Amino acid sequence: MTTVTRFAPSPTGRLHVGNIRTALHNWMLARKSGGRFLLRIDDTDAERSREAYVDAIRADLAWLGLVPDDETRQSQRLALYERAFEALRKAGRVYPCYETQQELELKRKIRLGRGLPPIYDRGALELSAEVRAGKEAEGILPHWRFKLDHDVPIAWEDGVRGAQKFDPSQLSDPVIRRADGSWLYMLPSAVDDLDMRVTDVLRGEDHVSNTAVQTQMFDALIAAGHAVGPMPRFAHEALLVGREGKLSKRLGSLGCDAFRERDIEPAAIVALLARLGTSLPVEAIADRDLLLESFDLATFGRAPAKFDDAELDRLNAALVHQLPFAGVADRLPVGMDEAGWHAIRPNLTHVSEAADWWRLVTGPVDQPAFSEEDRAYLGEAARQLAWGEDPWHALTGVLKETTGRKGKALFLPLRQALTGMDHGPDMGELLPLIGEARARERLEAAARG
């Protein structure tokens, strides 16, 4: 069976790093086996959904290279959910409820006070047809719950967490439809997973209890003749936390816009998130085929996955050092060619820093104050400068013989005069870029003081 995964964001906000990790892992799970990765926009919440967020989700996935094989929108599938609902209603698996939010909260507090689990008491099932009709005559419209089968234990083999078991009598019958007729997450998601032939649902561990309920929804939909099976396989990965060990508000808002503002490469985000929370080392791997080869749910751990900005910056620098000129040419300052990129690349943490380093070539440079001895040395360097295939090593070789200098005393004044810095790109690569006339001018200026 072809592997089919899905990423199902709600367009009520921008994707954050936790969403991105979920999307990436679903993309990898599908791609590793040559399967299909679907994007499902869960936009049944018409009041909060925004088209701008739909566009942003598409753009962020494209920027990361996570291109879906197909896209669907729940708002265009409402008739399908209506048919599923009617099939479950006829089968006695959904029922109307009339309690207000305040009444439900009171019931919850009473159960807690009695040492009972704070789940719904199924009070609505005890109402007679006459009572229900009376409430609706008063204008009290019902919300609807899915009726769990307390006689059927809930169990599945989770791709990350292993064997999972739930007692359905310890779970609330979930609300699946509001009084205004709009849908909550649970039923449309289950209907879509069956209809779209999703084989694997990989999501955060905060959805474990949802899965417990949805396993019975899948069975009920199939039994009611609304859909065919089988239900998907499930895997729940540990949630992302910050370096301090808890899920911070910052992580909840950290998304692609923030990464782009920091000039983080998409490849760095992918390299980090691909293995975060697994037993595999996080490495600066730009080749996605290599990442896919090692992707295995068996490597996923149960401990929270810690996101560290410093680690992302480290990976970004390492990957920038691997980037070919063709991959960054449109992001480089005017005049920087492949030789310039090759010379400056090892000093970069972000591609945007290339402009600062390129000024070492184009100038002007701020030279330090030199001692009288160093000024004489730099004057000699200006006179000895000769242009050829390797002007830097030719110059330092001559100066070593004529002045007796070596090591730092030989190299540092030259670098300071030519670039205004104590460190930087390899001078053997940089000096040809500076050029003979500009180099001699800088040496002579340093000699004059």
Q: What would the 3-class secondary structure string for 143-204 be?
A: EEEECCCCCCCEEEEECCCEEEEECHHHCCCCEEECCCCCECCHHHHHHHHHHCCCCEEEEE
Calculate mean pLDDT across residues 310-321.
97
What's at 93, amino acid-wise?
R
pLDDT tens figures, 97-140: 999 999 999 999 999 999 999 999 999 999 999 999 999 999 99
Q: Is 131 helix (H, G, I), strand (E, B) or coil?
A: helix
Query: Token pair of 87, please?
Result: 């099939």
Query: Is residue 378 within a helix (H) or strand (E), and if so which, with residue range?
Result: helix 372-384
Per-residue model confidence (pLDDT) at position 249: 62
Sort strands 143-146 and 94-97 into parallel, antiparallel or unpaired.
antiparallel
Calculate mean pLDDT across residues 234-262.
83
Please say if the pLDDT value at position 262 is more than 70.
yes
The residues facing 154 across adjacent strands are 166
Please say if the pLDDT value at position 65 is more than 90.
yes
CB count, 10 Å around CB of 273?
A: 24
Q: Residue 311: which residues within 8 A CB-CB, separation 6 or more?
A: 272, 282
Rounded CA separation 83/89 (Å): 10
Per-residue model confidence (pLDDT) at position 251: 74
pLDDT tens figures, 335-361: 999 999 999 999 999 999 999 999 999
Sort strands 240-241 and 305-306 into parallel, antiparallel or unpaired.
parallel
Decide: 123 and 142 in contact? Cβ < 8 Å.
no
Decide: 75 and 43 in contact? Cβ < 8 Å.
yes
User: The pTM is what?
Assistant: 0.90
What's at 341, amino acid-wise?
W
Residue located via tokens 């599945």: 156
- Classify burial at 94, counting beta carbons within 10 Å of its beta carbon; exposed 0-12, middle 13-18, buried 19 or more: buried
Residues making up the annotated binding site for ATP are: 249
CB count, 10 Å around CB of 21?
A: 23
Per-residue model confidence (pLDDT) at position 446: 97
Calculate mean pLDDT across residues 146-160.
97
Largest Cα–Cα separation, the chain: 110
Please say if the pLDDT value at position 151 is more than 80.
yes
Please say if the pLDDT value at position 246 is more than 70.
no
Decide: 177 and 211 in contact? Cβ < 8 Å.
no
Q: What confidence category does residue 376 fall into, taking pLDDT thresholds of 50, 70 and 90? A: very high
Q: What is the mean pLDDT of the chain?
A: 95
Rounded CA separation 427/445 (Å): 19
Residues making up the annotated binding site are: 249
Q: Is 390 helix (H, G, I), strand (E, B) or coil?
A: coil
Query: Token pair of 95, please?
Result: 């029922």
Q: Is 336 helix (H, G, I), strand (E, B) or coil?
A: coil
Q: Which domains does the chain have, with CATH numbers?
A: 242-320 (1.10.1160.10), 362-448 (1.10.10.350)
Please say if the pLDDT value at position 36 is more than 60.
yes
pLDDT tens figures, 227-245: 998 999 999 999 999 876 6
Per-residue model confidence (pLDDT) at position 247: 56
Q: Report DSSP state, residue 278.
A: B
Please say if the pLDDT value at position 75 is more than 80.
yes
Residue located via tokens 């991105």: 20
Per-residue model confidence (pLDDT) at position 149: 98
Residue located via tokens 């503002």: 261
Sort strands 162-166 and 154-158 into parallel, antiparallel or unpaired.
antiparallel
Calculate mean pLDDT across residues 255-283.
96
The residues facing 200 across adjacent strands are 233
Rounded CA separation 207/235 (Å): 10
Strands of the sheet containing 36-41, edge to edge, are: 4-7, 36-41, 70-73
Write the CA distances from 302 to 19, 344, 426, integer angstroms.
18, 42, 45
